Each structure stands twice: as structure tokens, then as C-alpha cells.
Amino acid sequence: MKNNNFVFITGSGRSGTTMLRNIFDLHNNIGVVPELRYFDIVLSSIKRYDLKKSEDKYRLIDKIISVIFSSNDPEWKKLELNKEKFKVELFKCNDEKFFYIKLVELYTSKRNSLISVDKVSTIFIEKIIKFFPDSKFIHIIRDGREVYASSAKRGWIDNYIYLPILWNESIRYFNKYQKKYDNGKNFFEIKYEDLVKNSKLYIPKLFQFLEVEKVSNDFFNKVNKLSSFSSFFKNDNVGLYMSKHFLDCYSLKKQKKITGLLYKNLKKKNYKIDKYEIDIILKVKYLIKLFIFRLHYLFKIKGYYWVFLKLKKIIWIKKL
């Protein structure tokens, strides 16, 4: 890389983050990295490693290797992976910031790119800004009802409380950090639906935000031929396409529950929606799970996630 111009795509799962990354990779001056999960997996437990100790540094490197070599992201298959070379290169790094820089240098899709793009969880924006103050963040939002249906259809989880929390919290964290850190140049929000329906309008806006050269009509021909890897599961679709499953997959009763939990942010983001009230029992369940969810992410942000996992296990054993 010529410099460290980092761009981070954020958004809840099934919102089009992979699609957006693949679009950026078509640009000559933008390199993308495979899904590193560095912040979510590695940095979330960084406090258990003393990087001044060789033993701890190798433990961390082994953790990074296990994440990379178990990934389903097809971008990894395009790269030459050598565990021993990997260990030697990473051992040269002395803190968590330079571990990340080294990973990007090793595995970006274009070695001389002006910009490097990675997908990250929205909760780590503040941590990233401390590492890289000039970073840019793009938050992609998709209708939360379709995110729910797509997640359940993909087999992730079908939980009418947990999935709405994931979607709502991604929006909350992005709005929180945007309000705190945006200088007018480093935060950008886009709707999945706008990007798919009117790519010739919104893709140039994205590149203008990144301050890279404009694209030609030939670029859009490439976009229309993109292979579809929907969270790393290949299908026969090409280009940008809209998929809708929510109304077909769920009973009216379940639709009302899910919509009620998503309503506030759906309305804020100008999605067409009828208001559904949720009952007090569902509201209490949501608040309890939301508290646990935020506690879990607090441990991740602070780098003590392994402690949370131990506490969770102890509490579960006591319940038994």
C-alpha cells in the first residue's frame, strides 16, 4: 500500500456489506481485504495478550491464523496463504494497531492501492478512529424486516428478539459515533435499496465520498456482471438485485411482532411501514436481551470478551 487510507464498511449482517465491498474492488485505486474479523475476534480479547512477551504474541498470531484459515470468504481463495510466512511477518509487529496494518499490507487485493476497504462491526468505530483518525466509514442499511428474513433464511438464527436488536444497535452505534466524530468528510450512510435500484446515481456518490476518480459506463457493465456471494454462499444471480422474503415467510402475527420491534428505526430511515404496538411482555423480554447484548459488546469494545464468556458460562452453570 502507498499509504494508510482506510475505509470501513459497517452495517448489520445481511444488509449488503459484501456486495458493497465487491463493488469497491472493481475500482483501480481501491483494494479490499477478505473478511479479517480482526476487530471482532482478535481485538475483542486483546487484553489477555501481553505483546511484549513472545509467548503471548505467538498465541495472538495463532488466533489470527485460526480465524483466517476457517473463513468461508471466497476472497481468501484468491490469495496465496503461507502460515509460516504469515507468522514471521506478524511477529515483527509490536502492538495491535500494527498487527492490523500488516494484515492489510499482506492481503489487500491490490498491493499499490490508494485506499483499503474492510468490513467491520459498527461497535468498533470509536476504537478504529483512535488507531486511524482519518478513516472513513460507510454504513449500509437495509430494511430491517428483510434483514431478519434473509438472516433466518440463510440459517443464521431465527429469533424475533435477537435479530431486531442486531439491526437496531448497528444503527444506534453508527448514529452515536457519527454525531461524536463526524467532520463532514468521514461518515456516509446509504440504503441498500437505493444502491440496488439506482446504482448509477449512488455509486458515483460513494466514490466522491472516497475522493477517487469517477467511473465510466464500462464500470457499471462490470457491476452488472458481479458474481453473487451472499455472505459467502454463491448463487446464480449476477449484478445488483433485490430480494424480498419477509411477507412470504412469516405469519401476520409474527410480522407484527418483528415490525413492532423495528418500528422506531424503520420510520426514522423512511421505510414505508404500518405501526404495530408490542405487548408489555415482549417489550420486557426485548429490554432484558438488549441489556445482555450491550454488556456483551461492552466487554468486546474494552478487549475483555473472554471474561464475558467465562462469566456467561458460570451463570449458566449456576442456573443448572
pLDDT digits (tens, 9 = 90+) for 223-265: 988 876 555 455 667 778 888 889 888 899 999 999 999 999 9
CATH number of the domain encompassing residue 191: 3.40.50.300
Question: For position 299, what pLDDT does the model report?
Answer: 95
Does residue 261 lie in a domain region?
A: yes
| pLDDT class of 286 with cuts at 50, 70, 90 | very high
> Does position 318 have pLDDT exceeding 70, yes or no?
no
List the domain range (segments joined by +) for residue 137.
Answer: 6-33+108-278
Quick one: average pLDDT of 285-313?
A: 92
pLDDT, tens digit, for every residue of 186-218?
999 999 999 999 999 999 999 999 999 888 888
Does residue 264 lie in a domain region?
A: yes
- Residues contacting residue 284 through CB under 8 Å, at least 6 positions apart: none
Q: What is the number of structural domains in the chain?
A: 1
Does residue 92 lie in a domain region?
A: no
Does residue 154 lie in a domain region?
A: yes
Q: Which contacts of 242-247 are long-range, i.e. CB under 8 A and separated by 24 or more positions?
A: 242/193, 242/196, 242/197, 243/146, 243/150, 244/146, 244/149, 245/146, 245/149, 245/150, 245/153, 246/143, 246/145, 246/146, 246/148, 246/149
Does residue 150 lie in a domain region?
A: yes
pLDDT, tens digit, for every residue of 38-77?
999 889 999 999 999 999 999 999 999 898 888 888 888 8
Does residue 138 lie in a domain region?
A: yes
In what order do the strands lie in the sheet containing 6-10? 30-32, 115-119, 6-10, 136-141, 187-191
Question: For position 304, what pLDDT does the model report?
Answer: 95
> How far is C-alpha 22 from the chain's CA centre?
14
| pLDDT class of 11 with cuts at 50, 70, 90 | very high
Question: For position 195, what pLDDT does the model report?
Answer: 95
Question: For position 233, what pLDDT does the model report?
Answer: 56
pLDDT, tens digit, for every residue of 115-169?
999 999 999 999 999 999 999 999 999 999 999 998 887 766 768 899 999 999 9
Does residue 193 lie in a domain region?
A: yes
Does residue 258 lie in a domain region?
A: yes
